[in-house]
Amino acid sequence: MSKAADARPVTVWRIALDPARAPGAEAVAELSEEERARAARFATDALRNRWLHGHVATRRILARELGVAPSSIVYGAESAGKPFLATPAGSGIECSFSDSGELALLAVGRHGALGVDVEVHRPLADLDGMAERFFAPAEQAALFALRESEREAAFYRLWTRKEAYIKALGTGLGHPLSRFVMTLATDDVRLVTVDDDAAAAARWSVCSIDVGAGYEGALVAARTRTSVVTLDWTPN
């Protein structure tokens, strides 16, 4: 990959998910029939509104980037379920979406795979057990070396970085979380090894995303370095 491609920034949009307010009828009409049917299946208005805000914003952001109508966008899915832009074809745009609590992130870029993840901080009843189940031995050692008061925040930093990498790969559970090692420090954000291969890890860049108090966010991109522009989405 060229240095010019590496230097092109990735935009990460922060999208507020308002469970108390439904998007307007015009906005909902921009969704596909499948998306509207899925929204109708949510058990509560709050869950439905939250989901609709994220997906309406995603279509409108991508439409603005592509110069097309939101309703004209068609998504496809790769064999492991990773979504992609099927129409318009050949745009070169990669995107990744994640939501948690009342916040969603949408990463949009070109020149390589992207993965983004956001998590709302919730108390973890079995932090140690989750770490032992999902994290690589080196990650567990780094986490358990911290003071107990620091572990929950570090757990979420590590979890979002690992989830973002899995999303960028697009392999789902085909690549277990324990097969690669991420850092968990705030001042050292990187992929260390993939299947014990440091060279493979160096082909990816990892970035923390500013998502405000009570949340953690991360972006992973198939580049040796990545610059990120973070923006807040304002509904039209």
Choose the weakest-confidence range: 28-37, 83-92, 156-165, 210-219: 83-92
pLDDT digits (tens, 9 = 90+) for 101-155: 999 999 999 878 999 999 999 999 999 999 999 999 999 999 999 999 999 999 9
Task: Say whether pLDDT at 1 is over 80.
Answer: no
Task: Say whether pLDDT at 80 is over 80.
Answer: no
pLDDT of residue 2: 44
In single-letter form, the type of residue at position 28 comes to V
pLDDT of residue 84: 85
Alpha carbon distance 57, 15 (integer Å): 7
Alpha carbon distance 174, 227 (integer Å): 29
pLDDT of residue 236: 66
pLDDT of residue 78: 81
Average pLDDT over all residues of the chain: 92
- Calculate mean pLDDT across residues 35-53: 97
Choose the weakest-confidence range: 76-80, 111-115, 208-212: 76-80
27: left (phi over 0), alpha (psi -120 to 50) or beta: alpha
What backbone phi and psi angles, to 5 degrees, belong to 155? -60, -45
| Span between the terminal Cα atoms of the chain, in Å | 36
Alpha carbon distance 18, 72 (integer Å): 25
pLDDT of residue 6: 57
Choose the weakest-confidence range: 3-7, 127-131, 158-162: 3-7
Burial (0-12, 13-18, 19+ Cβ within 10 Å), 116: buried
Alpha carbon distance 95, 110 (integer Å): 9
Residue (of 115, 84, 110, 73) closest to 204 by Cα position: 115
- Report cis status (omega within 30 of 0) of the bond before 9: no
pLDDT of residue 202: 95
Q: Torsion over CA of 84, 87, 88 and 93, rounded to 10 degrees? A: -10
Percent of the chain with pLDDT over 90: 82
Q: Are 95 and 108 in contact (CB under 8 A)?
A: yes
Q: What pLDDT band is residue 176 in, cutting at 50, 70 and 90?
A: confident
The strand pair at 228-232 and 10-16 is best described as parallel
Q: What pLDDT band is residue 4 in, cutting at 50, 70 and 90?
A: very low
